[in-house]
Copies of this chain bind each other. A is one copy, B any other.
Amino acid sequence: MARRRGEIPLLIAMAYRAMTDELHARLDAQGREPLRPAHGYTFRFLLGHDDAMSVDLAEHLGVTKQAASKIVAELEGWGYVERRPHPHDGRARVVGLTAKGLAYVEEADRMWGEAEDRWAAIIGEERLDRLHDDLLGYVEAAGDRAALRPVW
């Protein structure tokens, strides 16, 4: 297919939009709390950082520590995360996923997996593998810029 220069970023934006749309439609149908992308990104961050503090989350999401603190408080109220005192630092609190939070991530992964399957049905598994590698190549080259965080 002919490719106009500069078209790929637009396609990425559209694909991203379509996929998140689909996920959130399914989440709504489950009658969950109104989770936003920032919440999902929070869960993923906590998964990979065992003794994370609010301030670490703030840096990862690219927001102020107050905003991160609000997000954590909200998620704590819903039972997705919990805060414990930091073992060595009296000022700090450690944020961690609860069983409910972990279950959400697994559920989301299943849904993303299904989206992938539908994609695979269109272009095939091998091309999906290459797509994965190509995306990974770009993301790794982008470094910190490619953090998993909200767009605006």
**Is A123 in contact with B145, judged by CB distance below 8 angstroms?**
no
Distance of A148 Cα from B18 Cα, bound (Å): 9
**Is A15 in contact with B132, judged by CB distance below 8 angstroms?**
no
Taking CB atoms, residues of chain B closer than 8 Å to A138 are 15, 18, 119, 122-123
Interface membership of chain A positions 116-152, coded 1 if the CB is closer than 8 angstroms to chain B and 0 otherwise:
1011001100011111111111110110011111111
Instruction: Please name 19 further chain A to chain B contacts, defined as beta carbons within 8 Å, in addition to the given A17-B148, A18-B145, A122-B138, sorted by A numbering.
Output: A1-B129, A1-B136, A3-B129, A5-B109, A5-B113, A6-B111, A6-B116, A8-B112, A9-B19, A9-B20, A11-B132, A13-B20, A14-B148, A17-B151, A18-B142, A20-B152, A122-B141, A131-B134, A150-B151
- What are 20 A-B contacts defined by CB distance under 8 Å? A6-B112, A6-B116, A7-B132, A8-B135, A11-B132, A11-B135, A13-B16, A14-B139, A15-B142, A17-B148, A18-B138, A18-B145, A18-B146, A22-B142, A36-B152, A37-B152, A122-B141, A123-B138, A150-B151, A151-B151
